[in-house]
């Protein structure tokens, strides 16, 4: 007379469903695994109904332990509070979810060696793969060893020319970005160009500077001045990076021969550069042109609106995950930021010669 009731507080298991439906566990398992053609319609219905009635949900833990896949992937980001990152996370999560994966998130706050620990922790939890929203350097050996031993896939965001560039990676083409930028600045007459980064320098910082160097060398020029502000700042607050940019401007614009253009490693630094320039009584872009990188919304809000290199963050995150969970074959995995010209760049103040 009394309806079957799962023992109080316990989640119904595949056994409960089998009993309720009057079939065996393997039948239920087959049903669960989509091998529905193995069940006769009546059975199928009975199982579906029983599962529904019991509110049955398969245990991911047990499936993961038994089978090979947990349908979980990890995503390790350099710094979640870096404003260029969340949209990458968003792209990655969207693609992961599309493919039926859940996302483990891990923030290493620019402490690169934490990537190893966090990877191991994820492996212990049984992830099927790990995406790194940055290029591993130094610790890549340890990570790669751990992941390959555990048989988990990886995907990296690497700069152009990286040894890892290829299938398991998405390339951010800093070089191509800087080339566009130099073309723009050169046309405006700029010949004396500085570069500003800071203590939180990632691999990107170096590669953007390199890109600038290469593009200028093609025009037989070199980067006039480079400043890496050494002051550490709290990444929980963007303001620190703006301040860092301000300080950099004070240093770079105090050089005997003043640069006519300053490139920042990112938009936050560039906003700071503008503030620093203003502090020195210089007009942007009349006295000095300033360029950012990322194209955050702040780039349009600051005055003057910032000329910058727009990074397709969402697509990068999406593709990064595609590499991991999809069948990214013959996909163009290289993303080149595009130059967005606004008001912070203009003709070089003393135009010596437009055709050297």
Partner DNA sequence: CTGTTAGCGCCTTCAA
Partner DNA sequence: TTGAAGGCGCTAACAG
Interface residues with DNA (CB under 7 A) are: 10-11, 13-15, 18, 22-27, 29-30, 32-33, 37-40, 42-43, 58-59, 61-63, 65-67
Provide the minimum distance between the beta carbon of 12 and DNA in the complex, in angstroms, as a whole number.
8
Phi, psi of 279 (to 5 degrees): -60, -30
Distance CA 188, CA 197 (A): 23
Identify the DSSP state of 36. G
**Residue whose CB is less far from DNA, 68 or 297:** 68
Residue-wise DSSP of 48-98: HHHHHHHT----HHHHHHHSS--SEEEEEES-TTSTTSHHHHHHHHHHHHH
Count of residues that interact with a copy of itself, criterion CB under 8 A: 54
Contact status: 324 vs a copy of itself (CB under 8 A): no
Beta carbons of 75 and 104 less than 8 angstroms apart: yes
Which of 5, 42 has the CB closer to DNA? Answer: 42
**Beta-sheet pairing, 129-132 with 72-77:** parallel
- Least gap, CB of 177 to a copy of itself (angstroms): 19
Which listed range, 39-47, 102-110, 176-184, 187-195, lies at the site for a copy of itself (CB under 8 A)?
Answer: 102-110
What gap in Å lies between CA 151 and CA 68, rounded to an integer?
Answer: 10
Closest distance to DNA from the beta carbon of 94 (Å):
25
Q: How many CA atoms lie within 13 A of 3 on its CB side?
A: 5
**Smaller CB separation from a copy of itself, 57 or 257:** 57
Quote the strand ranges of the chain, DSSP E: 72-77, 102-107, 129-132, 153-159, 169-172, 193-198, 225-229, 261-264, 289-291, 308-310, 334-335, 338-340
Asked if 338 interacts with a copy of itself (CB under 8 A), we say: no
| Partner in contact with 268, chosen from DNA, a copy of itself, none, beta carbon below 5 to 8 Å by kind | a copy of itself
Report how many helices (DSSP H) and strands (DSSP E) the chain contains, helices first.
13, 12
Closer Cβ to a copy of itself, 127 or 182, answer by number: 127
Q: How far apart are CA 145 and CA 148, in angstroms?
A: 5
Per-residue burial over 99-127, b if 16 or more Cβ lie within 10 Å, else e, is eebebbebbbebebebbbebbeebbeebb
Residue 87 is a binding residue for a copy of itself (CB under 8 A)? yes
Which of DNA, a copy of itself, none binds 314 (CB below 5-8 Å, type-dependent)? a copy of itself
User: Out of DNA, a copy of itself, none, which partner does residue 103 contact, by CB within 5 to 8 A per kind?
Assistant: a copy of itself
> Which listed range, 27-35, 132-140, 166-174, 294-302, lies at the site for a copy of itself (CB under 8 A)?
294-302
Measured CA distances, 86 to 77, 132, 154, 204, 316 (Å): 9, 14, 20, 17, 12
Under the binding rule (CB under 8 A), the answer on residue 231 touching a copy of itself is no
Q: Among 25, 150, 192, 199, which residue sits at the site for a copy of itself (rule: CB under 8 A)?
A: 150
Write out the binding residues for a copy of itself, residues 55-74 only, by CB under 8 A.
55, 57-62, 64-65, 70, 72
Q: What does the binding site for a copy of itself look like in residue numbers (CB under 8 A)?
A: 9, 11, 55, 57-62, 64-65, 70, 72, 75, 80-81, 83, 85-87, 89-90, 93, 102-107, 120-126, 149-151, 236-239, 242, 268, 271, 296-298, 300-303, 314
């Amino acid at each position: 007379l009394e309806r079957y009731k799962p023992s109080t507080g316990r989640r119904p298991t595949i056994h409960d469903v089998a009993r309720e439906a009057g079939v065996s566990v393997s039948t239920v398992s087959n049903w669960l695994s989509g091998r529905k053609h193995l069940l006769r319609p009546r059975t199928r219905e009975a199982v579906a109904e029983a599962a529904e009635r019991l509110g049955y949900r398969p245990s991911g833990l047990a499936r993961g332990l038994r089978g090979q896949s947990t349908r979980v992937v990890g995503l390790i980001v350099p710094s979640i509070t870096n404003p260029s990152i969340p949209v990458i996370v968003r792209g990655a999560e969207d693609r992961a979810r599309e493919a039926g994966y859940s996302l483990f998130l891990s923030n290493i706050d620019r402490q690169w060696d934490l990537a190893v620990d966090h990877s191991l922790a994820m492996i212990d939890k049984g992830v099927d793969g790990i995406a790194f929203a940055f290029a591993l350097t130094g610790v890549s050996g340890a990570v790669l060893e751990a992941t390959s031993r555990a048989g988990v896939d990886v995907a990296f965001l690497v700069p152009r020319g990286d040894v890892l560039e290829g299938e398991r990676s998405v390339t951010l083409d800093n070089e191509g970005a800087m080339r566009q930028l130099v073309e723009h600045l050169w046309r405006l007459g700029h010949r004396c160009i500085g570069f500003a980064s800071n203590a939180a320098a990632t691999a990107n910082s170096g590669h953007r500077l390199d890109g600038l160097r290469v593009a200028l060398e093609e025009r037989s020029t070199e980067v006039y001045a480079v400043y890496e502000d050494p002051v550490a700042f709290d990444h929980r607050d963007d303001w620190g990076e703006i301040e860092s940019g301000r300080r950099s401007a004070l240093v770079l614009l105090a050089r005997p021969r003043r640069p006519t253009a300053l490139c920042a490693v990112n938009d936050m630094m560039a906003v700071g550069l503008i503030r620093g320039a203003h502090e020195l009584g210089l007009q942007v872009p009349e006295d000095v042109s300033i360029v950012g990188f990322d194209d955050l919304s702040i780039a349009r809000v600051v005055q003057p609106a910032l000329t910058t290199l727009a990074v397709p963050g969402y697509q990068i995150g999406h593709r990064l995950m595609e590499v991991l969970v999809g069948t990214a074959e013959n996909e163009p995995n290289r993303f080149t930021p595009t130059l967005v010209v606004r008001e912070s760049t203009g003709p070089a103040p003393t135009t010596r010669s437009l055709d050297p």
